[in-house]
């Protein structure tokens, strides 16, 4: 199978690109990314995974697969780590040590000032994540995506908002996007109606009252099959 990569023009300059593997922010699975000129690009398959034939210039590619690169903000890639650590302060220069993201630390560190708070202890800088600032960043991304879809298509406003949400959903964890959808449902109820789960409890089964079992006393051997009433008052032998 022949794989054809569609790359931005600026990648074909003097500095060669670097391909790395990082956990995908949505799935956590190892996925290929490309670093070039201090920018991060995601590498992914275009369309379905099945092979197909197509032209590249005048050349016919038989049973090929198209690979696309798209620039991605590095803060989105490291979001799962920041979400996990919360607002706890960490030594800035060691924030990505012993993590897969050490490969892109030089790209992420300059961005952290917009997504958290700094503190200085003993002349060392510490940083803590502020999720509210990240939410505002995603709000701006959502607005730009809506504008892009609005310009490039002839769709209703409701569908435009849903398309923009679908694009974001590719990059972010499922739990976070569930939260973000609930947030959008308050602002755009037509595009993102609230999902109401109707729970019907199972019918109650009437339980029969428990009948107390009567334990019959055992009849002494000398009284069994005895029809003489006086024998019931027979003096008992007392052990001495």
The reply to whether 145 falls in a domain is: yes
CA nearest 4: which of 71, 70, 51, 72?
51
CA distance to 32, 52, 59, 90, 130, per residue, from 6 (Å):
14, 16, 15, 39, 36
Cα 139 to chain centroid distance, Å, stands at 18
Higher pLDDT, 221 or 85: 85
- Total number of domains in the chain: 2
Give me the domain span that covers residue 174: 132-187
Residues 6+ apart with CB under 8 A from 51: 1, 63, 64, 65
The pLDDT tens digits of the residues spanning 63-74 come to 667 778 888 999
Minimum mean pLDDT range among 26-30, 31-35, 64-68, 77-81: 64-68
Q: What is the CATH number of the domain that holds 58?
A: 2.20.25.530
Q: Averaged over 204-231, what is the pLDDT?
A: 66
Q: Is 34 a member of any domain?
A: yes
Judge whether 170 lies within some domain: yes
Q: What pLDDT sits at residue 228? A: 58
User: Is residue 126 assigned to a domain?
Assistant: no
From 187, 203, 224, the end of a domain falls on 187
CA distance 17 to 38: 10
Give the end of a domain, one of 21, 46, 72: 72
What CA–CA distance (Å, rounded) separates 213 from 203?
A: 29
Question: How do 2-6 and 59-71 pair as beta strands?
Answer: parallel
Of 187, 204, 234, the one marking the end of a domain is 187
Q: Token pair for residue 84?
A: 């996990």
Q: For residue 44, what are the contacts with CB-CB under 8 A and spacing of at least 6?
A: 31, 67, 68, 70
Q: In the structure, what pLDDT confidence band is assigned to residue 232 with cuts at 50, 70 and 90?
A: low
Tens of pLDDT, residues 131-159: 999 999 999 999 999 999 999 999 999 99
In a domain, 103, yes or no: no
Domain presence at residue 174: yes
Instruction: Read off the tokens for 239.
Output: 């052990």
29: in domain: yes
Enumerate the H helices of the chain as residue ranges: 74-77, 79-85, 105-108, 131-152, 157-169, 174-187
Asked if 127 and 105 count as a contact pair (C-beta separation under 8 A), the reply is no
pTM above the 0.85 mark?
no
Burial class (CB in 10 A: 0-12, 13-18, 19+), 161: buried
Q: Is there a domain that residue 2 lies in?
A: yes
């Amino acid at each position: 199978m022949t794989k054809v990569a569609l790359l931005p023009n600026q990648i074909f300059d003097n500095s060669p690109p670097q391909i790395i593997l990082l956990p995908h922010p949505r799935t956590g699975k190892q996925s290929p990314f490309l670093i070039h000129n201090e920018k991060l690009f995601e590498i992914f398959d275009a369309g379905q995974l099945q092979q197909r034939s197509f032209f590249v210039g005048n050349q016919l590619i038989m049973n090929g697969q198209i690979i696309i690169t798209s620039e991605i903000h590095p803060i989105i890639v490291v979001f799962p780590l920041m979400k996990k650590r919360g607002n706890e302060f960490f030594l800035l220069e060691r924030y990505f040590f012993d993590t897969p993201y050490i490969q892109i630390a030089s790209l992420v560190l300059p961005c952290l000032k917009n997504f958290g708070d700094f503190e200085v202890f003993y002349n060392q800088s510490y940083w803590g994540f502020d999720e509210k600032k990240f939410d505002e960043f995603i709000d701006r991304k959502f607005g730009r995506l809506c504008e892009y879809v609005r310009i490039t298509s002839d769709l209703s406003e409701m569908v435009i908002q849903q398309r923009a949400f679908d694009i974001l959903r590719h990059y972010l964890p499922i739990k976070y996007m569930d939260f973000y959808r609930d947030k959008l449902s308050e602002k755009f109820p037509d595009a993102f109606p609230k999902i109401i789960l109707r729970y019907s409890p199972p019918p109650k089964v009437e339980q029969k009252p428990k009948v107390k079992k009567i334990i019959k006393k055992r009849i002494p051997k000398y009284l069994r099959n005895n029809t003489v009433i006086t024998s019931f008052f027979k003096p008992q032998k007392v052990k001495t």
